[in-house]
Structure 1
Amino acid sequence: MMIMEKSRTWLLGLLPLTHSRFSHSTFLLLTLRCAHFVVEEPMVIGHECAGIIEEVGSEVKALVPGDRVAIEPGISCWRCDHCKQGRYNLCPDMKFFATPPVHGSLANQIVHPADLCFKLPDNVSLEEGAMCEPLSVGVHACRRAEIGPETKVLIMGAGPIGLVTMLAARAFGAPRIVIVDVDDHRLSVAKSLGADDIVKVSTNSQDVPGEVEQIHKAMGADVDVTFDCAGFNKTMTTALSATKPGGKVCLVGMGHSEMTVPLTPAAAREVDVIGIFRYKNTWPLCLEFLRSGKIDVKPLITHRYGFSQKEVEEAFETSAAGGNAIKVMFNL
């Protein structure tokens, strides 16, 4: 076990709240829900973090005080069938930062298992280390979808997860990536980060046929794999319609808990639908991508704040307002 050094922990990944009350690092969230996880009492949030080790337990051999580490935020049981088979992200007894009822890492110090703390390469900053968490989602999605040098990729949604999925797909060798969104600014960011083409769409489901034509024109070839990083009826409908026969659609976002989508036509074209939940065994690869320069996450960090009461409130307001905010970073 280890404790992270006070004032040197980096944390990011704010929830889009519009009304919050703050008391030090405890936040009152009234009606926050993600799938079947529901906040029912005040809790500390935060799950994207890195820091410097202050103390280690007697059995810790690979790390020492002073080491800079990126932190994987989920502690699985290692006893259930999922864990024994290596799919520990599906562990039913997972204790995951900021997932009710487990408190998160938005604090001056945390205690965490040593085998979930990954030493940062010398040329990787604490900020980049904290970004390993969202990047892991994209890496896990690319592994599930078997992205490679011959895979042409469509991404629905140019939010933070869509962008890290795009960066991961490129690192896995995808030769052409088209990204779709409703927002001009997000699309411009995606283009600046390396998207081969962008397509602006609407929220109107009646527009799907025409938008699929635009997507095919932008891709200039068949869509092998589509990542739906939004998870709405319309985005999934577009994904299923745009993907080639025999292709794959990977559902990453969870915008809707239930969807009505054209599965029968997709099944008739043998389009495989796969899902992901968090990630597994991704931190070493994420750190290697960052060390080697194959992925640069620094442009995704758009705002930085300290950890005073005033700065915390301002950070949450910035995140809630949207605008040009992608990732909002706390420096503790």
Structure 2
Amino acid sequence: MGSTMRALVWKELNRVEQESYWPTPDLKNQEIRVKIKAAGICITDIHMITGKLDFAKPPWILGHEMSGIIEQIGKDVTGWEVGERVIIDPVVSCGSCRYCLIGRKNMCAQGGELGTTYGSGGYGELVTVKPSNLYRLPDELSFAEGAMMEPLNCTLGAIDRVRNMVGSHVAVFGAGPAGLLFIQLAKAYGALTVTLIDIRDEPLALGLQLGADYVVNSSRTALIDYFAGKEIDVVVEASGSVQAVKACMEVVAPSGTVVLYGLNGSDQPSIPSDHIVAKDLTIVTCTSAPLLWDKGIRLVQGGKVNVKAIVTRQINFESAETVINELVEGKNSSTKTVMIYS
């Protein structure tokens, strides 16, 4: 019998189970084995468990937001040492195809994302990756902050593609982790004002603390009336709501930009193409930004983005099965939950 590890295993629809003796991923000569210290619980994980997103089939080890400590190094690897604190880029690729060579390895047909489409992720205690998938975690940042670098990388990739951010008025739909990152990134990229929209007061209050200039509870305020006469240059959809996508197209000013980020898994048409053409809108998306990891780390180090405040709950491995299954059932929600391995 080979080596084993602790893991939270997605074994059946709507449920994960704790395992103490799950097989450890193999370590090849060109790879590094990382002992996971923190793993973020992403809404994508929850949507996979419930069957809303068909990225993989159980049994599966989820978790694409990860940080940890190097435990073992393959014999052909140089430049890294056992014990180093690292952030894991979960996107695996061949390194030589057209997309890899133009810096878009997330589109590599031979690759995928650890924990989502490709192989064992951070819900397991150990992960093996190529050295090119690792970034050093600065000493002043916690492992929980390290796990937040993956969602920061994706949102940063979207904002980095917006050409008219400087001096713009921005609206962000959704005060979840992505929306809270978007408001900070918009300000870091030169936005004049940012308005945050959600149906929950608590995350809206957190949004104000993190730099939003205005917040709107759309369950109590008609958005069309609220934004009447306001020139909103950039609108970000980070809620995963079909209705919010339509609202973005209505709220944004002519010649503006709409960032589509949230996934809803509903398979419902939500893009009014005539509206886009008539208003001459620019549409921006992003699922990964392979070339921007270092920039994201520097933004957090420099105090431009606060990821620590977004982590509103930290749980240990022993309690994670209960907590994640409750999240699947829609109970005990928090802005962001991160699992910490002891």
Which TM class, normalised by the smaller chain length?
Answer: 0.7 to 0.9
Describe the SS at the equivalent of 1:11: strand
Partner of 2:33 in structure 1?
3
1:179 aligns to 2:196 (yes or no): yes
**Percent pairwise identity:** 25
Matched residue, 1:229: 238
Work out which of the residue numbers 59, 62, 66 in structure 1 matches 2:79: 62
Q: Counterparts in 2 of 1:187-226, with a 5 A limit? A: 187-202=204-219, 210-216=222-228, 221-226=230-235
- When structure 1 is superposed on structure 2, of 72-81 and 257-266 the one drifting more is 257-266
Give the superposition deviation at 1:162. 1.2
Report the residue type matching 2:169 in the other structure: K
Match of 1:285 among 278, 295, 301: 295
CA contact (8 A) 2:45 2:63 kept: no
Q: Is the 8 A contact 1:229 1:253 kept in 2?
A: yes
Q: Describe how 1:30-109 pairs up with structure 2 within 5 A.
A: 31-34=50-53, 37-100=54-117, 102-109=119-126
Match of 1:26 in 2: none
Give the alignment of 1:12-27 within 5 angstroms. Answer: 12-15=40-43
Aligned residues: 309
Instruction: Please tell me whether the aligned partners of residues 33 and 39 of structure 1 are also in contact (alpha carbons under 8 angstroms).
Output: no
Tell me if structure 2 keeps the 8 A contact 1:50–1:71.
yes
Q: CA deviation at 1:101?
A: 5.4
What are the equivalent positions in structure 2 for 1:305-316 lying under 5 Å apart? 305-308=315-318, 311-316=319-324
Q: Helix, strand or coil: the match of 2:161?
A: helix
d(CA) in 2 for partners of 1:17, 1:183 = 22
Deviation at 1:216, TM superposition (A): 4.7
Q: Distance in 2 between matches of 1:243 and 1:159?
A: 21
Specify the SS of the correspondent of 1:136: helix
Q: TM-score, normalised by structure 2?
A: 0.82
Question: What is the deviation of 1:324?
Answer: 5.4
> So what's the TM-score if we normalise by structure 1?
0.84
> How far did residue 40 of structure 1 move?
2.7
Unaligned regions of 5+ residues in structure 2, if any?
1-30
Alpha-carbon shift at residue 31 of structure 1 (Å): 4.8
- Following TM superposition, by how much is the alpha carbon of 1:57 offset from its aligned partner in structure 2, in angstroms? 2.7
> Which residue identity does 1:121 align to in structure 2?
P
Check conservation: 1:318, 1:325, Cα contact below 8 A.
no
For the pair 1:119 / 2:136, whether they are aligned, the reply is: yes
Q: CA RMSD in A?
A: 2.5
| CA deviations over 1:279-307 (Å, ceiling 9, x no partner) | 32221011101111111111111111221
